[in-house]
Each structure stands twice: as C-alpha cells, then as structure tokens.
Structure 1
Amino acid sequence: MKQGTGTALVTGANRGLGLETCRQLGRLGWRVWLTAPDSDEGQRACETLRSEGLDVHFEPLDVASLESLAALAGRLEQQGVRLSALINNAGIAMEGFNAHVAEYTVAVNFLGPLRVTERLLPLVEEHGRVVMVSSSLSELKDYPPAFQRRFDPPPPKEQLKALVRAFVEDVRAGVHEEKGWPTSAYRVSKLSLNALTRQLAEELKPRNLLVNAVCPGWVRTEMGGKHAARSVERGADILVWAATLPPRGPTGGFFRNRRPVPW
C-alpha cells in the first residue's frame, strides 16, 4: 500500500500508543479516525494532531459497549467511510484480581477487539489490515502443554468466547487455579486475543485481509509507567508497520520489533 492513500481507525487513541499511532500514520499522509470513550479527551487529542497539520477526525467509541459500537458504525456508514486499516489498540490492565476485574478486562481486551472487528469489517477494503495490540505475556510457550491446547490450535470464535466466559466463571467460583488458569485477567485476555488473531486471519483470507497481533514492548505510557524502557514513539512503530504491510505481507502472525515471535 502506498503511503498517503490509506484511511485508518484506531481505538483507544486519546493518549499513549493509540495517539502516537494516529500521529505517525498522519505523518505518512493517511486519513485517521481517532476513537476514544471519553469525548472531551478524544476531541482534545484530535485537535492536538490537527494543529500539527494532520488529517485526523474524532469519533467516540467505548469498545466494551455494543450501543457505542453500533452508533459509531452507523455514523461511519452514513459518511461512506472505507478503512484501509483497523487498529484495535484499546486495552486496560486493572489492579487486583476478582470476578469483576476478570470480566471487565476480557470485555475490553478480548471481546472489544472481536466485536469492533466483526462490526466494522464491512467497511474494511479488500487488502486491508487488521491489527491487534497484544503483549509478550501472551506467549503460549510460557504455559504448560495442557493449557496451551486450550488455545492452540485456535478454536472457532464461539468456542473461544465460551472459553473466556468459563475463565470468568471459574474466577467467580474461586476455582480458577485448580482449573489451570493463571491469576491474571490481563494474560488470559491477551492469550484469547492472540487466538482470535489466528482464527480471523484464516477466516478473512478470501478477502485478502492481513490480520496480525503485535507486541509494542514495555512502553512509557499511563499503563506502562514512567520507568518503562521504550518510548511511545518506538512502541507505536510496530502498530504502524502492521497497518501498512504490503499486499503480500504476513497474516496470522505475532510480531515484536517487526519480527515474528512464538505464540
């Protein structure tokens, strides 16, 4: 894809990696839709980028809300928006661990990208890109073989959703450890997101869509903290790279520093 010919939508883009991804795509000449759940924060972020001369537009979106997603899709469809890249960047890492943390974390980090992708797929052009922002904590090699088999090979979407619901219910019942789950909703949400990436990559091959997961590393954002090793500019590079892959680029992969890493 040539620079300057793309249109991208980035979720969770009012700050951090999402905001910098919008900036870098805008500097490449892309038209960017910046989305965020808080309208005031999102609009301020958009105005900042527009003051830099970038073609950026704001739309409110809470990825955990079906109503918010439906409203966004309706507005984009009414405007005739077509997307070259959909970047599922929105994510959370909550403190503590209980059923509420587990449920809300998977709602944002796993169900959010799943629902956003499914709802906006009709707007994604052939040869488009779908980017899932994951984490090194989701590498399956770090888990026992019996646990790995839950996600590899990746189950169909409905089975994957049922697996995630089972995790939440096991946490609620206080039996997640004996069922083999890690005591980390963030890890489970990103493991599930990686499995979804691989499943969608196969499903969408007939449309020539490239679907990949990326790990930006430990980045100095609100989530990563001020002591993180990597700048937000360097962290966003992998998101932009995956969003601008050439037509014959990889699909169904997991990448860090523009290189494939084990699932």
Structure 2
Amino acid sequence: MKPATGTALVTGANRGLGLETCRQLGRLGWRVWLTAPDPDEGQQVRDALRSEGLDVHFEPLDVASPESLSTLAGRLEQQGVRLSALINNAGVAMDGFNAHVAEYTLAVNFFGPLHVTERLLPLMEEHGRIVMVSSSLAELKDYPPALQQRFDPPPSKEQLKALLRSFVEDVRDGVYEARGWPGSAYRVSKLGLNALTRLLAQELKPRNQLVNAVLPGWVRTQMGGQHAARSVERGADILVWAATLPPEGPTGGLFINRRPIPW
C-alpha cells in the first residue's frame, strides 16, 4: 500500500543520503523541505529535484548554529508549514581525534538533532515521525559493560547532555581512555544519539509522535566512500520507511533493512 503523503524536512540534504531521501519522498508525492548549510549548493540541488517534477523547497540550515536554526524555524512558522516528518540526517565524520574534533562532531551529530527536534516540535503534526540516522558503530554490544551502563537505560536528557560534554572534557584533558571512552568522537556521538532517540520516544508518546533511529548501512556517499557496499538508493530506503510509518507504527526502536535490532 502506498504510504500517505505529507510534508517532510530533511537536514544535510545537499548530497548523499539526504539528497536521495528528498528524491524518494518527492516521488511518493511528499512536499519536501531540503536544508543544508550552503545556500548556493542547496538551491542548485533544489532546482535539480524540481526539474524532476518534485515538490521540493530549500532553506539554509547549519544544525550546529542556534542562530541558523532560529532563522529557519521563524521562516517556516511565517509560511505556516506543518511537518509530517523530520529526518535528522546531517552528520560529520572528521579526520583525527582531539578536543576540537570531539566538540564539533557532537555539535553536529548529537546536539544538532536534539536542538532541531526540540525547536521544530511545535510545527509537527499529530502522528508525526522523527527519524535519527545512526550507525552500527554505536551498537551497545560493542562497548565495555561500564560504558554500556552509562547509556542503558538512558539517563535523563539533561544528564545525557552532561555525559557527552564530559567526553569532550575528558578528551581535552587526555583522560578519555582512563574514563572508558573509545577514541572516536563519531562513535560517541551516535551512541548519544541512540540514547536520545529512546528518551524522545518516551517523551513524545503522549503527542503520538514516532521517534526511531535507523542504520542505512555502509553507503557509497562522500562520507562512506566509493568502495562501500550499498548504493545510496538502498541506503535511503530505511530513512524513507521510517518517515512514512503509519500512525500505529513502532517508536523508540533501532532499525536496519526495515527490521528492528537490539540497541
């Protein structure tokens, strides 16, 4: 059965998974708001998708910038936009490992989805879907028990934010290994994102909002590289699936190939 249509906003949609997600949603008849930090690049992508006959609009958004997010939200509110789906796709995987890398990676991959979701919630329709793009590198089974216990069950949202900020400070102080952290800001950011997904799912149940995290797999994108096993079309499928779940669909889950897997 063809999923119901609606309006979706996709972050980091100027290339790769985000771009393909916009294309697939557009082909299903959705109205799509494509966001990206660079206005020129975003407008070019919007125009390319419109040339395919898709209902795609563009607004600039740097998920790590509170000012950029505030401007976006204000413009959407002025236009009376109501969102059926929010897809938090924007992410970075930086070279190297130091306090700057840790801080910026968390700003984009964890705090970005958190702040975007919180700021745009007033624009979400009932039974709206919120999608977090996670990674297999954040599966709890791959972490030491002591670290698992800090994230499972998830602490409160404020405690979770403090925990991730402590990771940055531990990297800055050179004690992250002694504190049990892995030497990868990307892994920690997605570990935090998974915990956030579970917290938001519980928080938003009374509002009938569905919040799920998805694993697109190793995809041939700028981040994944050309030797990755999956096409961008196949990788985007799980994002589109989670964005078009029916009202009675799952919430608070982690999914790959449209199937749930353990956190």
**1: CA distance between counterparts of 2:157 and 2:42?**
31
1:24 aligned onto 2:21: no
**2: CA distance between counterparts of 1:140 and 1:107?**
21
Per-residue deviation, residues 82-140 of structure 1 (Å, max 9, x unmatched) = 00000000000000000000000000000000000000000000100000000000000
Identical aligned pairs, as a percentage?
85
1:211 corresponds in structure 2 to 211
**2: CA distance between counterparts of 1:4 and 1:241?**
12
1:192 aligned onto 2:183: no
1:54 corresponds in structure 2 to 54
User: Is the 1:7–1:30 contact (alpha carbons within 8 Å) kept by the matching residues of 2?
Assistant: yes
**2: CA distance between counterparts of 1:8 and 1:2?**
16
**1: CA distance between counterparts of 2:134 and 2:87?**
11
**2: CA distance between counterparts of 1:149 and 1:5?**
40
1:227 corresponds in structure 2 to 227
1:183 corresponds in structure 2 to 183
- Detail structure 1 runs of 4+ shifted over 6 Å in the superposition: none
**2: CA distance between counterparts of 1:5 and 1:27?**
10
1:149 corresponds in structure 2 to 149
1:78 aligned onto 2:81: no
Per-residue deviation, residues 189-233 of structure 1 (Å, max 9, x unmatched) = 000000000000000000000000000000000000000000000
Distance apart, 1:144 and its partner CA: 1.4
Distance apart, 1:155 and its partner CA: 1.1
Q: Note the 1:49-198 alignment, pairs <5 A.
A: 49-198=49-198
Q: Note the 1:31-46 alignment, pairs <5 A.
A: 31-46=31-46
- Partner SS, residue 128 of structure 1: strand
Distance apart, 1:3 and its partner CA: 3.7
Distance apart, 1:2 and its partner CA: 6.4
Mark the runs of 5 or more structure 1 residues left unpaired by the alignment: none
2:240 corresponds in structure 1 to 240
**2: CA distance between counterparts of 1:3 and 1:67?**
35
**1: CA distance between counterparts of 2:202 and 2:193?**
15
**1: CA distance between counterparts of 2:69 and 2:7?**
19
Over aligned residues, Cα RMSD in angstroms? 0.9
Q: Normalising to structure 1: TM-score of the pair?
A: 0.99
Q: Normalising to structure 2: TM-score of the pair?
A: 0.99
Per-residue deviation, residues 51-97 of structure 1 (Å, max 9, x unmatched) = 00000000000000000000000000000000000000000000000
Q: Check 1:160–1:86 CA distance in 2 against 1; reply closer, same or farther (3 A cut).
A: same
User: Is the 1:42–1:58 contact (alpha carbons within 8 Å) kept by the matching residues of 2?
Assistant: yes
User: Is the 1:22–1:32 contact (alpha carbons within 8 Å) kept by the matching residues of 2?
Assistant: yes
User: Is the 2:62–2:69 contact (alpha carbons within 8 Å) kept by the matching residues of 1?
Assistant: yes
- Partner SS, residue 150 of structure 1: helix
**2: CA distance between counterparts of 1:18 and 1:184?**
23
**2: CA distance between counterparts of 1:204 and 1:2?**
26
How many residue pairs match? The answer is 263
2:201 corresponds in structure 1 to 201
User: Is the 2:35–2:60 contact (alpha carbons within 8 Å) kept by the matching residues of 1?
Assistant: yes
User: Is the 2:198–2:252 contact (alpha carbons within 8 Å) kept by the matching residues of 1?
Assistant: yes
**2: CA distance between counterparts of 1:7 and 1:184?**
35
Distance apart, 1:4 and its partner CA: 5.4
